[in-house]
Chain A
Amino acid sequence: MRQRFLNRINFTDIALGIIGTALVGLIVVGSFKTLAEGNYTTRQWLDFVVFGIAQGSIYALIALGYTLVYGILRMINFAHSEVFMAGSFTAYFAAASMAKSGFLETNTFVAVLILFAIAMATSTAIGVLVERVAYRPLRRAPRLVPLITAIGASFVLQYTFKGLYGDQFKAYPEIDTLKGSYTWGDINITKVQVVVILSAAFLMLLLYLYVQFTKTGKAMRAVAEDKDVAALMGIDVDAIIVRTFALGAALAGAAGILYAITFRQVNFFMGFIPGIKAFTAAVLGGIGNIPGAMLGGIFLGLFESIGPILFLDGLNVPAPYQLKDVIAFSMLVLVLLFRPSGILGERLSRTKA
């Protein structure tokens, strides 16, 4: 019995165990010390939570794009972060001109809807274009090949938009109607955060209904299950793949607007970090799984907004907030190591991982 147990564990497992234990130990000790010191009030913690949820719902929207494509093609659409950037960068010009004419203040609702429409349309066009040029010819290629094209596409898009719109940061206009905040007891939530959370929730609900109940949604799920059999059942696989890309890209475009009204800055390079974070979120929730991506996004947002303070402040790390990306990336590594199927994902089969 003991012999069999010893045979089963090997060098890798031991190393992983040590790394895992060390990180968990660090997190526990850090959190304990931070809480014991009590430098932060309940109100501040709740602020972090609200910020985390708002940030997380943006991640979730982007993550859906990764998950939808992964579910069908079993590939990471590396250019998705640029699809996200394209939408909100393009919509900036509409926002700026509407702010100048005052339309943004008088008819905020309509104006924001227009922004959403522009961003979603641009992102969809870019997403479909990328699929057509960079991925479709490579359906049967070795796995490394589409991945490299995706990296290429990502750089082409970044620098094309840099060339088109210039390389400075553009400041999105601030909408006066969305200034201010609501307060219930200790919870303080800004109007922008309300808009972000509500629109994200609405879009996710819409997507869920679309995938569950429409004919295209059913076809998507069939293609995700087995492309060849789906084709035999009379489903036009290529058309479904294009629609999947379009759907994911549209959500990324919407996320772009939410990101822009939250952080009020756009730039050709803005997609990179949210893109990786969203990918992390998708993996966290179980890639290929739609509710998983939503949950993963929220979870990552919370982790990222609370984590640096909770884990690192007690360890006397100066400016812990600078390390939030490190925390997110470490989390990605940990998830892939210890639960590669994510929170909700089914067990990844050998071919997927």
Chain B
Amino acid sequence: MEQENTTSWWLTAIQLGLIGGVVAILASLIGMVESFHARDIIAGQISMGETLLLLIMIGFAYSSSRNEQSPISTRVTSGVITGVTISLTIVLFVMLGAVVNLRSIFVNASPTLYKILTLEISNTALAYVAIVVVGAIVSLAASLVHGATPFWKRVISSGFFIVLLLALLQDLIRITLTPFPFITEVLSWMFGRRGQEGLSILGAIVVFLIVAGVIYNDAKHGAARRARREALPEATKRTRRWVSWGLLGVFLLIWPRIAGPVLSDVTNSVGLYILMGLGLNIVVGYAGLLDLGYVAFYALGAFTMGVLTTTGGEIFFDVRWTFWEALPFAVIVAVLAGIMLGIPVLKIRGDYLAIITLGFGEIIRIMFLSDFLKPYFGGSFGIVSIASPTIGGIVLDSSQTLYYVILAACFVALFVAHRLRDSRIGRAWKAIREDEDVAQAMGINLTATKLLAFATGAAFGGLSGAIFAAKLSTVYPHSFTLITSINVLALIIVGGMGSLPGVIVGGLLLAGLPELLREFSEYRLLIFGILLIVMMLNKPEGFLPEAVHKREFHEDENLSHAAGG
């Protein structure tokens, strides 16, 4: 019995190692390792590509040393076995690559890749040994940390995480903080010389120590501090809340000044995604109707804005309205489309709804693209020179000024979504999401409620699209593919379906980060796909879940707890 148990743990460790090795090789062959290699985490020492491989190793060593029943020595050994197996797999792959020319099939099996994998050591035998040694050390460290108290694990992993984040976001940090000379000096010390990417070694160590110190302190004294804060009188708490909201408001108002044109532009696309996310959140998150054709409303809003504000040429009527005159019509067109889509699909649920809405999105795109409607919408050339919004003679045509329009739209949408959430109609949506038949039996009018969900969601999408058209001042059918719908869906799922803070955080993470990190944007959809799967497997309620949803997804566990306790 004992014997059988021991064999099984190391077999599992080797198995995990093999899977990890395959994952690492796949990440290399897809080109992630090489293209991430261009960005340094620690200047001249460790690149993002190497970090990716190390993270894969750490992750697999973690899960290999997870079994909490076994003694610490077993856990560490099994972690190390996994790490070494991953290294050996990589070594095998490099050996294979030396014999066979893999590049004729796998476009990314380039010499640079092998150089990265062999740690840029030219002596082959030495390189192989080095890979295995690195694997052993990394997995040893990982499983030791994992096996040590959860307290230290939290301190160390938060430290590493923040170092990684700072290194990745250094462009953002540098640009936003240049107006302050003192901080610039600190930064240039932390990040190494100008033009160099990544943290300096000393900078990384200092950041790690600071973060670890803060986390340590928080874990020791955080509970007491929180209790003290809880004990404050209600009035003080309210004042504090208002002050922090006020500070956030001021920050949002002056943000484009700090950020400069490029970052403002990134912020604007994030804002448009948040706007769409808020709309889709009503359809998917509140009402539970999975809509994969959401981009159609975005497209309709954009094209309506285009048609109504431009002139002559092939566009069919010469209205030349201003942005503000056209905006309500863009929203109305989107709402009408939402209702038109809604009516036929009223009786359709779940999977079928997803496919039909997907088809609807494609139909709208193909129609805009076709020769049939070319006289009206310009076919694949789209519509150009769309008017920018103006306020009292000021033309809002730069990203820094357009920001305010988007900010205002986001606030309106946020307000509407927030007020709707617990209103009568919002509760009706949630009832439909939980069980359509019961909802109907309770006297909810399914037709009206579902149509309202589609219409409200479409209104936000149309609004977002109209602003998008004004932002780019051109619209092409090619901007409105299924991928946009999937992006929006991914952001509300990662944030937490039905949760408003979730939409904002999801928007910042999924729309903002890929814009800031060029290397990521190529693998954006791959990463989103992985994210969707991992979220659904481990945390289906999202990062910032809504209370009801969380309960719903963990129903089984709650039931078993109730039964057990």
Q: A residues bordering B, Cβ < 8 Å?
A: 10-12, 15-16, 19, 75-76, 93, 133-134, 137-138, 140-149, 151-160, 163-166, 272, 276, 279, 283, 317-320, 322-323, 325-326, 329-330, 332-333, 336-337, 340, 350, 353
Contacts and interface: CB of A to CB of B under 8 A. Distances in A.
Given A144-B290, A163-B29, A165-B106, A329 B533 contact: no
Given A133-B533, A332-B359, A155 B371 contact: no
Contacts of A159: 30, 523, 525-526, 529
16 contacts: A75-B351, A143-B350, A144-B288, A144-B350, A147-B354, A152-B530, A152-B531, A163-B523, A276-B358, A279-B355, A319-B370, A325-B362, A325-B363, A333-B359, A333-B360, A353-B350
B185 interface: no
Contacts of B106: 164-165
A242 to B, nearest CB: 18
Nearest to A14: B343
B53 interface: no
Contact of A134 (B104, B447, B533): B533
A155 B526 contact: yes
Contact of A160 (B30, B351, B489): B30
B491 to A, nearest CB: 13
Nearest to A323: B370
A77 B340 CA distance: 28
Given A163-B29, A164-B106, 4 more contacts: A76-B355, A319-B372, A330-B363, A340-B348
Contacts of B533: 133-134, 149, 152-153, 156
A165 B105 contact: yes
B528 A164 contact: no
A165 B528 contact: no
Contact of A93 (B105, B349, B493): B105
Contacts of A144: 288, 290, 350
A145 B366 CA distance: 29
A151 B489 CA distance: 10
Contacts of B299: none
B343 A16 contact: yes
Interface string B442-465: 000001000000000000000000
Given A145-B540, A160-B30, A165-B105, A155 B493 contact: no
Interface in B79-119: 104-108
A15 B341 CA distance: 11
Interface of B: 26, 29-32, 104-108, 288, 290, 292, 343-352, 354-356, 358-360, 362-363, 366-367, 369-372, 374, 437, 447, 482, 486, 489, 493, 523, 525-526, 528-533, 536-537, 540, 552-553, 556
Contacts of B489: 148, 151
B345, B352, B526 interface centre (most CB from chain A within 10 Å): B352
Contact of A318 (B108, B356, B372, B552): B372
B372 A322 contact: yes
A331 to B, nearest CB: 10
A140 B559 CA distance: 14
Contacts of A340: 348, 352
A41 to B, nearest CB: 24
Contacts of B369: 322
Nearest to B289: A144
B105 A337 contact: no
Contacts of B366: 322-323, 325-326
A153 B529 contact: yes
A163 to B, nearest CB: 3
Given A147-B354, A159-B523, A332-B356, A12 B528 contact: no
B525 A164 contact: no
Given A142-B553, A329-B360, A76 B344 contact: no
Nearest to A146: B536
Contact of A319 (B351, B371, B525): B371
Nearest to B375: A318
Contacts of B344: 15-16, 19, 333, 337
A117 B290 CA distance: 37
Contact of B343 (A12, A147, A152, A157): A12
B346 A12 contact: yes
Nearest to B367: A326
A188 to B, nearest CB: 28
Nearest to B288: A144
Contact of A137 (B350, B493, B529, B537): B537
Contact of A152 (B355, B374, B447, B536): B536
Contact of A336 (B104, B292, B352, B529): B352
Given A158-B525, A160-B526, A147 B532 contact: no
Contacts of A151: 292, 486, 489, 529, 532
Contacts of A157: 529
Given A138-B536, A165-B106, A318 B371 contact: yes
Contact of B352 (A317, A350, A353): A353
Contact of B529 (A154, A276, A353): A154
B358 A141 contact: no
A146 B532 CA distance: 10
A163 B372 CA distance: 36
Contacts of B288: 144
B30 A164 contact: yes
Contacts of A76: 351, 354-355
A146 B354 CA distance: 12
Contacts of B537: 134, 137-138, 149
B552 A142 contact: yes
B356 A165 contact: no
Nearest to A144: B290
A15, A93, A144 interface centre (most CB from chain B within 10 Å): A144
Given A149-B536, A336-B352, A15 B343 contact: yes
